[in-house]
Structure 1
Amino acid sequence: MTEVHPFYETHRGAMEAAMRERLDLAGAMLRERTHLSDIDGIGREVMDEFEIVLTQMPYVGGAASRMSDFFMRLTGFMAISRVLLRHGVPVPVIGEIERDTYKAQLLTAPKAERLAAGLQFMSPENQALLRQQAAESVTESHQKEFPEDFVYDFIEPGSQDSFEFGINYRACGFCKLAARHGDKDILPNICGLDFDAYATRGIRLERTQTLAGGASHCNFRFSRLAAD
């Protein structure tokens, strides 16, 4: 059996705990929206599937890469999607359950902590890091070393733009993962999680196209949400 990459193995306990928390939060939604009877059994199936997903997660640079965090946060939803799809739950319903579950999980963190993370993401220092990693992602040497990684450009706003900065993802690690393991149908559900991930941190994400939807790139545009 394929082993879990050592980097992800060191974070395995935290990822499994996050999955169990998600399943607890999703329990009532699963009962109400899927009409499945054995929700505990579904949870066990999801955790078993997550063990498989862990072996499939691509290594993109570990702690040195900001994209590692995305994989560790979101690939668990691939396990949820796979199991619910096997039980006949429609893809749009799966997407709604996952998005509501993820939002509920994100909101368990104190508001001050979430907003501080959002300010850090929008900070000039982080934008400088994003520029640096974007420039590195497109190099031949990086793509050779990490072929499953994201490839992206940092986008500066024009004089008529309302966003503070943007990222155009030209290649997506989740798309590569989904293509390899037959998850293309459920991939858009993973994309949908991005909006709440940023909104709960006080960031407005605008995006009109995705690689998963057949576009040439995903056009992320970021700005600060107005304070409550």
Structure 2
Amino acid sequence: MNIYKFIYNITMFRSRRFIIKNYGAEFWQKFKTESFSVFKKILLELPDIGKSIFSFNYAYAPSYIAWYKTMRKLGLSAEEADDLIWKMNEKMILTVPKIFLRSAGKIYLESFRKKAAAHIERQKNGKLHENDWLIEYRNLNKNSFEIDIKRCGFITLAKKYGAEEMLPGICAVDYIVAHYMGNGFSRTKTLGDGDDCCNCRYEIKGKCPLQVPAGMK
């Protein structure tokens, strides 16, 4: 099973009881059938961006788009769809024991900073896929770094499949991930909200609120 299908399937499995309890069995059956149909279509058309440092982020896009479009089709408001996707992410993340989540968060960010220079070099040489992320990277100290995202592959796909409405709400998932992985994360600008970049600051060891602070999108 590839990473795209794994993300979709484990999140649906972990969210089943919550969705049935809060929205009913009929909603769940329709949601499961319709979202999987949309997911399969996107997956068949999805270009490979190669061994990008953002390939794991990219792997979530087909699921998010399929879920969001289906939720809206089934009558949920934009805010309700955002809330449900946040909850689904939380359910999926907490499949992993918290002690392992902290280790995973540290490993992921340390790996990112080690590979950032190579990503920037490929970017300068025009070797990134058009769906890949364009960034500026700044190493601050042993624990912290910043990236300004100038182009987001997730937004590229959202626009292609008419799911722009999910932005910037879906971007708030970054806070959920950082919170449970024990990383520091903050930003004051977001591409999905029409800003010129996502100005992200990460701390390998830090704190992040579970909900998006006012003004931090």
TM-score relative to the length of structure 1: 0.79
Aligned to 1:129: 115
- Give matches, 1:19-30, under 5 Å: 19-24=11-16, 26-28=18-20, 30=22
Does residue 1:201 correspond to 2:191, yes or no?
A: no
Cα contact 1:168–1:220 (8 A) shared by 2: yes
User: Secondary structure of the equivalent of 1:169?
Assistant: strand
Give the corresponding residue for 1:164: 144
How many Å apart are 1:21 and its aligned residue? 1.8
Q: Distance in 1 between matches of 2:21 and 2:67?
A: 13
Residues 15 and 92, structure 2, Cα contact 8 Å, conserved in 1: no
CA gap of 1:126–1:89, structure 2 versus 1, over 3 A, is closer
Q: Aligned-residue CA RMSD in angstroms?
A: 2.4
Structure 1 residue 22 displacement after superposition: 4.6
Structure 1 residue 89 displacement after superposition = 1.0
Residue in structure 2 matched with residue 6 of structure 1 by the alignment? none
> Could you tell me which amino acid in structure 2 is paired with residue 180 of structure 1?
K
Q: Are the counterparts in 1 of residues 185 and 202 from structure 2 also a CA contact under 8 Å?
A: yes
Cα–Cα, structure 1 residues 168 and 29, in superposed 2: closer, same or farther, change >3 Å?
A: farther
For 1:203 and 1:25, locate their aligned partners in 2 and report how far apart those are by CA, in whole Å: 29
State how far apart, in whole Å, the 2-side matches of 1:184 and 1:38 are: 23
Q: Distance in 2 between matches of 1:42 and 1:27?
A: 9
Check whether the contact 2:90–2:176 (CA below 8 A) recurs between aligned residues. Answer: yes
Matching of residues 1-228 of structure 1 within 5 Å = 10-11=2-3, 13-24=5-16, 26-28=18-20, 30-31=22-23, 37-61=26-50, 64-123=51-110, 126-133=112-119, 135-143=120-128, 146-157=129-140, 164-223=144-203, 224-225=205-206
Pick which of 189-198 and 146-155 moved more. 189-198
Letter in 2 for 1:155: R
Aligned-pair CA distance for 1:177: 1.0
1:26 CA displacement: 4.2
1: CA distance between counterparts of 2:3 and 2:62?
A: 13
Deviates more, 1:194-203 or 1:18-27: 18-27
Number of paired residues? 205
- Which stretch of the first structure deviates more once superposed, 95-104 or 72-81? 72-81
- Runs of 4+ that moved beyond 3 A: 9-13, 35-38
In the alignment, structure 2 segments of 5+ residues that lack a partner are 208-217
User: Percent of pairs identical after alignment?
Assistant: 20
Q: List per-residue Cα deviations over 1:54-111 (Å, max 9, x = no partner).
A: 13433211xx222121122343021110011112211111111111110121011012
- Measured against aligned partners, the alpha-carbon deviations of 1:4-57 in whole angstroms (never above 9, x if no partner) come to xxxxx84455244224325415414651xxx79432222111111111221343
* Whole-angstrom distance in 1 between the partners of 2:84 and 2:66: 13
1:151 Cα deviation (Å)?
Answer: 0.5
50-59 or 179-188, which deviates more? 50-59
- Kept in 1, the 8 Å contact 2:167–2:193? The answer is no
Q: 1:126 to 1:80 in 2, by over 3 A?
A: closer
User: Structure 2 vs 1, CA of residues 22 and 164 (structure 1 numbering), >3 Å: closer, same or farther?
Assistant: same
Aligned-partner Cα distance in 2 for 1:77–1:217: 21
CA contact (8 A) 1:29 1:97 kept: no
